[in-house]
Amino acid sequence: MSVLVFAESQGGQFKKSAFEAVTYGYKTAQVLGTECIAICLGEAGNAADLGNYGASKVLSVADSALNTVDSQAYTSVIAQAAEKNGASVVVLMHSATGKGIVGGLSARLNAGSAPGVNQIPTNDGAFRVKKNVFSGKAIAEVELTSDVKVISVMGNSFQPEVVGSPATVETFAADVPAARITVKSVDKVQGSVPLPEAEIVVSAGRGMKGPENWGIIEELAELIGAATACSRPVADTDWRPHHEHVGQTGVAIRPNLYFAIGISGAIQHLAGVNSSKVIVVINKDPEAPFFKAADYGVCADLFDVVPRLIEAFKKRKANS
């Protein structure tokens, strides 16, 4: 028996989420009294490091065909590793890559699945794990009854924890199926941190009045190493690029800190951001619904408050 964790890499490097996934896998393995094995696909530089987070060994499938994400190929290789290593649980991240695999993998392995979980499973007579549902308005406990189970973990639910030392890396000889999808081009968002992975997000809405006013938002974000985001009408009117749109119909995020500036806090917006750990709302309307979801609130004109906040962060930086 084992817990198998797919550790995602990009351009040969692990992302923080890979360490989150291994941390989750390690804790799940402890619940089940078994070991945690990691698998990395394609080029992956420092695979042994996954041992630091609790992987007892790392399987590496360094086939260049796996350098681009092909859901079918990934599904097939992970399924082969799960079978060879007697995995009872397969852990993925609930990232774009993970979401592309989670369904196919559970069908392939005839495994019950729990996509987008945010807690470690329990195993007292039954294997159960929790996730947020109904736009964060409720928590569902899912029971998985199959021999093999597939779980995908919400990003930023678990901080990576160093519990061990570098692991041995073994080459895993897998049958990589011929690609049925050809990649024509890849267009990465340049520069800043990708929104779903950002730990701090500065987000602004229609209260900004127009795209020409976004300078203060970008300045604040850059100062504190945050990604920028926006409400849907802002993206729909092309004030900001579509990939910044958060909410029910945009990206769902759960950063450690979310600044909502000039955003009313409609339920469809909250649906994508209310799992953030700390929410700061800046809005001139004391009745704005967002204050109900906030930890800290500033009720005033954002064009006064944001520059002041920038100064305050600069002062703090200079003094630390």
- Residue 161 or 218: the one with the smaller Cβ distance to ligand FAD is 218
**Binding flag, residue 105, another protein (CB under 8 A):** yes
Q: Three-state SS for 272?
A: helix
Q: Does 233 bind ligand FAD (CB under 6 A)?
A: yes
Report the site for ligand FAD in 189-208 (rule: CB under 6 A): 205-207
214 scored as a contact of ligand FAD (CB under 6 A): no
Residues 287 to 316: which contact ligand FAD by CB under 6 A?
288, 301-303
Q: Determine whether 33 is exposed, middle or buried from the number of CB atoms within 10 Å of its CB (0-12, 13-18, 19+).
A: exposed
Report how far residue 18's alpha carbon sits from residue 199's, in angstroms, rounded to the nearest whole number.
15
Q: Give the three-state DSSP class for 139.
A: strand
Contact between 285 and ligand FAD per CB under 6 A: yes
CB of 231 to ligand FAD, least distance (A): 3
CB of 144 to ligand FAD, least distance (A): 30
Q: Indicate which of ligand FAD, another protein, none lies near residue 75 (CB less than 5 to 8 Å, by partner kind).
A: another protein
DSSP category for residue 94: S
For residues 298 and 291, give the distance between their C-alpha atoms in angstroms, rounded to a whole number.
Answer: 9
Residue 16 interacts with another protein (CB under 8 A): yes or no: no
Interatomic CA distance for residues 18 and 40, integer angstroms: 9
Task: Work out how close the CB of 317 gets to another protein at its nearest, in angstroms, rounded to a whole number.
Answer: 10
Candidate ranges 36-44, 58-66, 164-172, 182-190; the one touching another protein (CB under 8 A): 182-190
Q: How many residues bind ligand FAD (CB under 6 A)?
A: 25
Interface pick for another protein out of 121, 250, 262, 265 (rule CB under 8 A): 250
Task: Determine which residue in the list 121, 136, 207, 262 makes contact with another protein, applying CB under 8 A.
Answer: 136
What residues from 265 to 294 belong to the interface with another protein (CB under 8 A)? 267-268, 271, 277-278, 280-281, 291-294
Residue by residue, DSSP assigns 20-65 as HHHHHHHHHHHHHTSEEEEEEES-BTTGGGGGGGT-SEEEEE--GG
Residue 63 C-beta: closest distance to another protein, Å: 18
What per-residue string of b and e applies to 182-200 under the rule 16 or more CB within 10 Å gives b?
eeeeeeeeeeebebbebbb
Residues 229 and 235: beta-carbon distance below 8 Å: no
Between strands 168-171 and 112-117, the pairing is: unpaired
